[in-house]
């Protein structure tokens, strides 16, 4: 329940109780769109409290405001909002998702049988790194949930080069050569 300040009574986070004067927050900060400490809206964020029913956030780069499990700042590409309540297996840094619509394939009904909303199948890829993993992987999937694959950075690089080799062969009417034979993608110590 909101108390007189609008911050929920159980918001015991020291940032809220000691330093945050909610009367001074901007509309963006009050609506959860900007960090309540620095006003930034383009940093990875973590929720620190509920204000008038809306989660408010701070940048994870402010060390005191990270969830207790997040002992390092987020990588620059992370856009995930992390919470103390995240399950251990869900404690992932994630980038924005890059989307490629596939316009030559059957469109997907994203609505219901009675109210169909057809749109193109989309290939999606983003960076994912569990906070305890040494290196991110690239997750590739589609909007039909037909598959979801995780590629190491080396594997993603091989796959990207192979796609480009096929595109090049088609556009130049030449025979494709494999630019990245399988063994070369592995970094051998
Ligand atoms: Zn901030
Ligand atoms: Zn993160």
Which ligand gives the minimal distance to the CA of 73? 2
What are the contacts of 24-27 at 24+ separation with CB within 8 A? 25/51, 25/56
CA angle 169, 173, 124 (to 5 degrees): 35
Confidence at residue 77, expressed as pLDDT on a 0 to 100 scale: 95
Cα of 59 from ligand 1 centre, angstroms: 4
Cα of 47 from ligand 1 centre, angstroms: 12
Confidence at residue 186, expressed as pLDDT on a 0 to 100 scale: 53
Q: In what order do the strands lie in the sheet with 81-82?
A: 54-59, 45-51, 81-82
**Under-50 pLDDT residues of the chain:** 1-12, 14-15, 17-18, 185, 188-189
For residue 152, being part of any structural domain is answered with no
Confidence at residue 75, expressed as pLDDT on a 0 to 100 scale: 93
DSSP 8: B
- As a whole number of angstroms, the distance between CA 77 and CA 136 comes to 11
Confidence at residue 1, expressed as pLDDT on a 0 to 100 scale: 42
Confidence at residue 2, expressed as pLDDT on a 0 to 100 scale: 42
Confidence at residue 4, expressed as pLDDT on a 0 to 100 scale: 43
For residue 37, being part of any structural domain is answered with yes
Confidence at residue 116, expressed as pLDDT on a 0 to 100 scale: 96
Which ligand gives the minimal distance to the CA of 129? 2
Give phi and psi for 170, each to the nearest 5: -65, -40
- As a whole number of angstroms, the distance between CA 41 and CA 157 comes to 31
For residue 120, being part of any structural domain is answered with no
Cα of 135 from ligand 1 centre, angstroms: 25
Which ligand gives the minimal distance to the CA of 44? 2
Cα of 97 from ligand 2 centre, angstroms: 14
Confidence at residue 19, expressed as pLDDT on a 0 to 100 scale: 56
What's the total number of domains in the chain?
1
For residue 42, being part of any structural domain is answered with yes
For residue 36, being part of any structural domain is answered with yes
Quick check: 73 and 111 in contact, CB under 8 A? no
For residue 18, being part of any structural domain is answered with yes
Cα of 62 from ligand 1 centre, angstroms: 6
Confidence at residue 6, expressed as pLDDT on a 0 to 100 scale: 44
Confidence at residue 184, expressed as pLDDT on a 0 to 100 scale: 52
Confidence at residue 183, expressed as pLDDT on a 0 to 100 scale: 56
Pairing mode of beta strands 45-51, 54-59? antiparallel
What is the maximum alpha-carbon separation in the chain? 73
Which ligand gives the minimal distance to the CA of 92? 2
Cα of 58 from ligand 1 centre, angstroms: 5
For residue 34, being part of any structural domain is answered with yes
- As a whole number of angstroms, the distance between CA 165 and CA 171 comes to 10
Quick check: 62 and 37 in contact, CB under 8 A? yes
Cα of 44 from ligand 1 centre, angstroms: 9
Cα of 3 from ligand 1 centre, angstroms: 25
Confidence at residue 90, expressed as pLDDT on a 0 to 100 scale: 95
For residue 64, being part of any structural domain is answered with yes
Q: 24 is in which domain, residue-wise? A: 1-84
Structure tokens at 52: 């008038």
């Amino acid at each position: 329940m909101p108390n007189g300040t609008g911050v929920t009574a159980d918001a015991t986070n020291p940032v809220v109780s000691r330093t945050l004067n909610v009367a001074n927050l901007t509309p963006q900060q009050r609506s959860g769109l900007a960090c309540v400490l620095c006003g930034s809206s383009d940093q990875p964020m973590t929720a620190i409290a509920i204000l008038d029913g809306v989660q408010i956030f701070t940048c994870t780069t402010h060390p005191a405001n990270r969830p207790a499990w997040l002992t390092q700042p987020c990588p620059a590409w992370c856009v995930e909002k992390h919470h103390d309540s995240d399950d251990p297996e869900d404690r992932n840094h994630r980038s924005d998702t890059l989307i490629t619509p596939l316009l030559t394939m059957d469109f997907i009904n994203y609505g219901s049988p009675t109210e169909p909303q057809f749109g193109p199948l989309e290939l999606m890829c983003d960076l994912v790194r569990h906070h305890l993993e040494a290196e991110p992987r690239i997750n590739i999937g589609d909007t039909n949930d037909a598959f979801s694959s995780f590629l190491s950075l080396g594997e993603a690089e091989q796959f990207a080069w192979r796609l480009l080799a096929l595109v090049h062969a088609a556009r130049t009417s030449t025979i494709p050569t494999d630019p990245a034979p399988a063994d070369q993608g592995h970094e051998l110590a």
